[in-house]
């Protein structure tokens, strides 16, 4: 799940990631671009028809569509590593907008199960959004032995 993404190329790459892994992509509005934007289409190549993407009017609307899912918020301000979680098929992997990350009100939302981090060298700010999502999606999928559909969102 991308919370208020701003850069169309990153979201296009996320569509491609969803297509090749079988994950479902949830986008929380407002988006910083139009879904028809050329940069989004170019980054997703011809994978748009192979991915399942849902757009939600708000974070609460997105959570309402996934009432029993655990929500893991990815942030550099976490203590728990993403590899320390045993992922389930209906888990939500939540990522914030570029370049700010998830806002405090989202990180403090009662539906957020845990905050997770992807380790980096000291002094580095962050990874590219879709690079971070790829790392997390592939770890969740690996834990499920690369089942035909990871069902991780």
**Rg of the chain, C-alpha, whole Å:** 14
Provide the 8-state DSSP code for 104: H
According to DSSP, the residues that pair with 93 across neighbouring strands are 72
Query: pLDDT, tens digit, for every residue of 43-96?
Result: 555 777 788 999 999 999 999 999 999 999 999 999 999 999 999 999 999 999
Burial 9-20 (b: 16+ CB within 10 A, else e): bbbbbbbbbbbe
Burial (Cβ within 10 Å: 0-12, 13-18, ≥19) of residue 34: exposed
* 118 labelled ligand-binding: yes
> What is the domain partition of the chain in residue ranges?
2-143
* 126 labelled ligand-binding: yes
Distance (Å, whole) CA 92 – CA 113: 10
Q: Say how many C-beta atoms besides its own lie within 10 A of residue 143's C-beta.
A: 16
Q: Which two tokens stand for residue 67?
A: 């009432």
**40 pLDDT higher than 70:** no
User: Which residues have a Cβ under 8 Å from the Cβ of 58 and sit 6 or more positions away?
Assistant: 28, 29
**9 pLDDT higher than 90:** no
pTM over 0.85: yes
* 9 labelled ligand-binding: no
Q: Which two tokens stand for residue 129?
A: 């959004």
What is the third-level CATH fold of 2-143? Alpha/beta knot (3.40.1280)
């Amino acid at each position: 799940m991308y919370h208020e993404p701003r850069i169309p190329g990153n979201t296009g790459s996320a569509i491609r990631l969803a297509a090749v892994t079988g994950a479902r992509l949830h986008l929380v509005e407002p988006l910083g671009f139009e879904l028809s934007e050329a940069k989004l289409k170019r980054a997703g190549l011809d994978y748009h028809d192979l991915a399942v993407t849902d757009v939600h009017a708000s974070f609460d609307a997105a959570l309402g569509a996934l009432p029993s899912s655990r929500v893991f918020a990815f942030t550099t301000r976490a203590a728990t590593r993403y590899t320390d979680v045993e992922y389930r098929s209906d888990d939500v992997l939540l990522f914030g907008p570029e370049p700010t990350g998830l806002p405090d009100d989202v990180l403090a939302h009662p539906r957020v199960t845990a905050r997770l981090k992807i380790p980096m060298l000291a002094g580095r700010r962050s990874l590219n959004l879709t690079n971070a999502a790829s790392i997390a999606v592939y770890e969740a999928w690996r834990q499920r032995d690369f089942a035909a559909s990871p069902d991780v969102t």
